[in-house]
Amino acid sequence: MLKKFLYKSYKSFSSISKWTKLHLNSNYYFLLTLFIISFILIFDIRKENKFPILALLISIFIFSLFSLLFIRFKFNLKREISLFAEVDKNLRYKIIIENKFKRKIVINYIELFESPLPSFEEFINLKSPNEERYNLWDRAVLYYRWIWLVEKFKIAKSKKKEIILKNGVNKISYKITPKKRGILVLNSGNILISDFFSLFNRVKKYDKQNQILVYPKRQYINPEIFNFKKNTRASNKQANKKDNYGYDFFSLREYSLGDNKRDIYYKSLAKFDYPLVKEYSKSENNEIFLFLDSFSKDKDLFEKSISLFYSFINPINDKTKISYSSIDNHIFNINISKEKNELMKLIVNINPSNKDNFHLLIEHVKKLKNNMGNLIFIFSYFDQKRQDFINKLIINNIEAKVIVTVEDWFYRTRYLIHATRCSLLAPF
């Protein structure tokens, strides 16, 4: 019962906050504070000249409200905006405002977004990070949980900007920060004009709809992910002739007569009674195939996977061709050597799947084994099915990189790192 009351109260509070953000200025809160202090002083009989101060403040409030009736809007508005953006990256664009007044005028401009509020079930079940560390009162009233949920559900952020408009056409720079992957809709631009004392604003909405494709947040990719090696080993003599240029370290083996002394791994002498020698393999830049497993129980982890998926594709220049295909609309196969097509729209709109038909990926890889180059698999989490899949890659001698975005992946899968060339890597 208490949680339901708190939920309705916080929901109403959010609606009121949105209204006050548009219609009230900082001067209003300053004058309101003076009014409250003056009202309290009325009850102190030792004070004199209290009523004139209170009457002055009231008259300022009334005059400001009355002056709003005479504010007029004579503007035309248009946006020059990009069709693409990224999560947590500022998007700057131009707003063209035509001022039809014959004088300069000061306005405020702000973009507002229809961000969804958390549902009652989400308010009850989702917990903010480190909530167990809050004191008893904070855990009871759940205020900080509500603030965290509102921030989590925001689709974009914007700030009010003060602008001095000259007569005629004005180009204004404005910025917003998208917070969610998907299609961001800008429905209307809000122009605010203040009263004489800058207490209240009169608001005019200009319906100019624009749609922006918001891509995932770009992540740093561990360079080791791209360190593929050819299956065949190169002789040490051949590598040494090239001064190891174009060759990568492959493995260690026992020293034998005729091996170059420069290739001895001297640190091995501290652990073993015999020296080990470095072996090299010739590195090749082949095609890269990305596989994204879209099944996920956690939306946040899935967003990390999508972010990583996008980070592989985004740095590639316009001349590089990319193509994608899906397996049962669930597992997506990207070939970074063919055509791009509608891949970027897919990244914007893809949602986590509730189907865990992971066996389809295993069959797909077996069929394309001979035609594929370097393989990279992206998993949102790790379980027995995915572990069995990696074991099958090992059995079939398929070299691949496996990236698991779940936070505790290392502790449950570390034994696989040295088992094969099928490597588990930290993505970020």
List the one residue out of 7, 232, 5, 261 whose CA is nearest residue 118. 7
> Domain ranges in the chain?
2-115+154-215, 230-282, 288-425
**pLDDT, tens digit, 9 for 90 and up, residues 311-337:** 777 654 444 455 566 666 566 666 665
Residue 416: the pLDDT is 36
What whole-number distance in Å separates Cα of residue 362 and Cα of residue 173? 51
Class of the CATH domain delimited by 2-115+154-215: mainly beta
Residue 424: the pLDDT is 47
Kindly state the percentage of the chain with pLDDT values over 70: 71
Residue 366: the pLDDT is 72
- In which band, very low, low, confident or very high, does the pLDDT at 94 lie, cut at 50, 70 and 90? very high
72-86, 117-131, 271-285, range with the lowest pLDDT:
271-285
Rounded to 5°, angle at Cα 22 from 180 and 138: 65
**Coil, strand or helix: which one is 168?**
strand
Residue 49: the pLDDT is 59
What whole-number distance in Å separates Cα of residue 234 and Cα of residue 283? 10
**Coil, strand or helix: which one is 353?**
strand
Residue 63: the pLDDT is 92
- In which band, very low, low, confident or very high, does the pLDDT at 193 lie, cut at 50, 70 and 90? very high
**pLDDT, tens digit, 9 for 90 and up, residues 244-254:** 444 555 556 77
The sheet carrying 276-282 orders its strands as: 247-254, 276-282, 264-265
How do beta strands 84-86 and 201-215 pair?
parallel
62-71, 181-190, 415-424, range with the lowest pLDDT:
415-424
**pLDDT, tens digit, 9 for 90 and up, residues 372-416:** 667 778 887 777 777 788 787 777 777 777 777 765 444 333 333
What whole-number distance in Å separates Cα of residue 374 and Cα of residue 400? 6
**pLDDT, tens digit, 9 for 90 and up, residues 33-90:** 888 887 777 666 555 556 777 888 889 999 999 999 888 888 999 999 988 898 988 9
